[in-house]
Structure 1
Amino acid sequence: MPKRDREAASASNLASQAERLIEFALQNPDQFRLISEVVAERAQTKLDQRRTHEYTASLVEQFHALSARESFRPGDLVVWKPRLKNRVHPAYDEPAVVVEVLETPVVNAEVDPSSTYFREPLDIVLGFLDDEDEILVYHYDSRRFAKAPNQTPNRVDV
């Protein structure tokens, strides 16, 4: 099934579920209120768990990974660094080829400041194959990538 059809089916299913939930809430307001309280409590518990040592250790580890820069050049094969993927494509462990390294990063300041993409420095252009084996080329933040390990070849001759 093509990606657009899967996305449309998923959106339709989500809309149907939302309609059933609204109907349930209107017919059972007391039960819905209780369910909402349980959901809120669980969310608070998860928030409390995030404040634990593991959360802090993971945060520091990911900060160091984001701060560690690698030098790339056109033709290098790269992959996402662990837990630093912030885009749909390419998939984790799916290599992309460096098409261009920009001297001056592209920074989109017009994105909503609450977006993770606000002022993200897009300084590398990567290419990867889509579902139809056609190359797509997008701009990314190079701090989120590492040279692809165990790829043969690990570079494309330019």
Structure 2
Amino acid sequence: MTSEQQELLSELLTNMMETTPDLEDNKNYGQEYLDRLKLAGENFLSKEEFEVGQIVKWKTDLKNRKLPRRHQPAIVISILDEPITNPNDESGSPYFLEPLDIVLGVITDDDNFLTFYYDSRRFEPYST
């Protein structure tokens, strides 16, 4: 794509965003949504204590990364004494200043074992 095409596409998308009404503005959120929101908040605020070698999974509604998959078990590789944060993400990003304090390992779809950094508040012990 040429730079001229990129500029045109960018301009079109900007115009669409400015002229398209936000359909969410008039959405009515019912009790089911409010209950789910409260539960997600409570789950996020309740921090588990993990050990290296422990098997974990995402807490309900707290998955914010591609891996591990929603119900896929992961293994705790390391628990960091000092969380790592990424100050480069903008404040509108869900990753802005997220404290990454646990390293988990997963086996990917192509059978590779990879490790990633996560916010441990989003995980719970895995049970079969």
Flag the 1:44–1:143 CA change in 2: closer, same or farther, 3 A: closer
Cα deviation, residue 123, structure 1: 0.3
Q: 2:107 aligns with which of 129, 134, 143?
A: 129
**1:103 equivalenced with 2:81 (yes/no):** yes
User: Secondary structure at the residue paired with 2:94?
Assistant: coil
**1:49 equivalenced with 2:28 (yes/no):** yes
Deviations 1:39-58 (A, max 9, x none): x48x247x5223x3222222
User: Secondary structure at the residue paired with 1:146?
Assistant: strand
How many Å separate the matches in 1 of 2:89 and 2:109?
Answer: 28
Cα deviation, residue 80, structure 1: 0.3
Higher helix proportion (structure 1 or 2): 1
Deviations 1:13-34 (A, max 9, x none): xxxxxx9xx9xxxxxxxxxxxx
Number of residue-to-residue matches in the alignment: 112
**Alignment partner, residue 116 of structure 1:** 94
Structure 2 runs not aligned, ≥5 long: 1-8, 13-18
**Alignment partner, residue 5 of structure 2:** none
User: Secondary structure at the residue paired with 2:27?
Assistant: helix
How many Å separate the matches in 2 of 1:57 and 1:82?
Answer: 13
Q: What TM-score does the superposition give when structure 1 sets the normalisation length?
A: 0.65
**Alignment partner, residue 63 of structure 2:** 85
How many Å separate the matches in 1 of 2:118 and 2:84?
Answer: 9
- In angstroms, what is the RMSD of aligned CA positions? 2.0
Flag the 1:44–1:70 CA change in 2: closer, same or farther, 3 A: closer
How many Å separate the matches in 1 of 2:91 and 2:46?
Answer: 25
Deviations 1:39-88 (A, max 9, x none): x48x247x5223x3222222111100001111101100000001100001
**Alignment partner, residue 143 of structure 1:** 121
How many Å separate the matches in 2 of 1:82 and 1:95?
Answer: 14
User: Secondary structure at the residue paired with 2:51?
Assistant: coil
